[in-house]
Structure 1
């Protein structure tokens, strides 16, 4: 494995780790909020806001890793009935479509990110939070998902196994 590929994989797994840590934070923040309400206290405003941000970060940072691990939702019902050669073609066509969608969303996300920087936008709820810190996740995540779907287009591994049902 080349050093670039190793660095890329390390970055991808680091993003997945941050997404997992964010999930833990979401659990803690919800439990603390509920406990505070049950004790008759008003939960901190930043607790709710950080949970909202956490949902975005968790989703966007974990998505490229899920694509790599084939953890995203896809239906094998149709591909399981296809002959092997047709399944290979269909699987690669679906991966190409996924790449195209991800590239478009990464491009639009980059435009939004740059617009947020240009305008100096802030999210002003519990505290001032630069909006670009939220929108940077769009080009980053969708760009990396495009790379991961490209692995299914050109790599030896297919996105679809050809086996219908749950296989865990």
Structure 2
């Protein structure tokens, strides 16, 4: 079991690393594109397309790590006003709702991914890019996010700290 947990933790870390590297690529691509335009050159078509793909990959692959670290945006005004027992209940209920939403999105993402493979869909702009390479991120990321939210449902830690305001 420890090996499985370790492999899962490495998966979440690897997804976050790919998201971080994608962010670096986005910075390089945007700077290169702007520099080329300012020099009177036409930026490469693939440069723009790769930034669009990068935004999707960065968002989807980085989201599970953000859930784990509680780095997503949420407001704790209500949970901060609740007494301890009620706060724990509300926090776990919200996390359970998030598990349900992520599971539904993972399911539909899997259907979309399988449809793209079945139809042999391509995104045709600067180059032919198999659409399934884009949509594979949906079932993977939403499934991992469902697991991460489930850890807040059943684990010792809560999704909400119960402290309103900025605490960093």
What TM-score, normalized to structure 1? 0.99
Give how far 1:42 is off.
Answer: 0.2
Secondary structure, counterpart of 2:129 in structure 1:
strand
Q: Distance in 2 between matches of 1:11 and 1:81?
A: 36
Which residue number in structure 2 is paired with residue 75 of structure 1? 75
1:15 matched residue in structure 2: 15
Note the alpha carbon deviations across 1:44-94, whole angstroms, 9 max, x for none.
000000000000000000000000000011111100000000000000000
Aligned counterparts of 2:83 and 2:15: Cα–Cα separation in 1: 37
Q: 5+ unaligned residues in a row in structure 2: which ranges?
A: none
The within-5 A match list for 1:9-158 is 9-158=9-158
In 2: Cα distance, 1:72 partner to 1:35 partner:
33
The CA distance in 2 between the partners of 1:148 and 1:11, in whole Å, is 12
Count of aligned pairs between the two proteins: 168
- 3-state SS of 1:43 partner: coil
Q: Secondary structure at the match of 1:57?
A: helix
Runs (5+) with no aligned partner, structure 1 = none
* 2:77 partner SS: coil
4+ runs of 1 displaced by more than 4 Å?
none
Instruction: State the distance in 2 between where 1:96 and 1:12 align.
Output: 20
SS in 2 for 1:78: helix
TM-score (ref. length: structure 2): 0.99
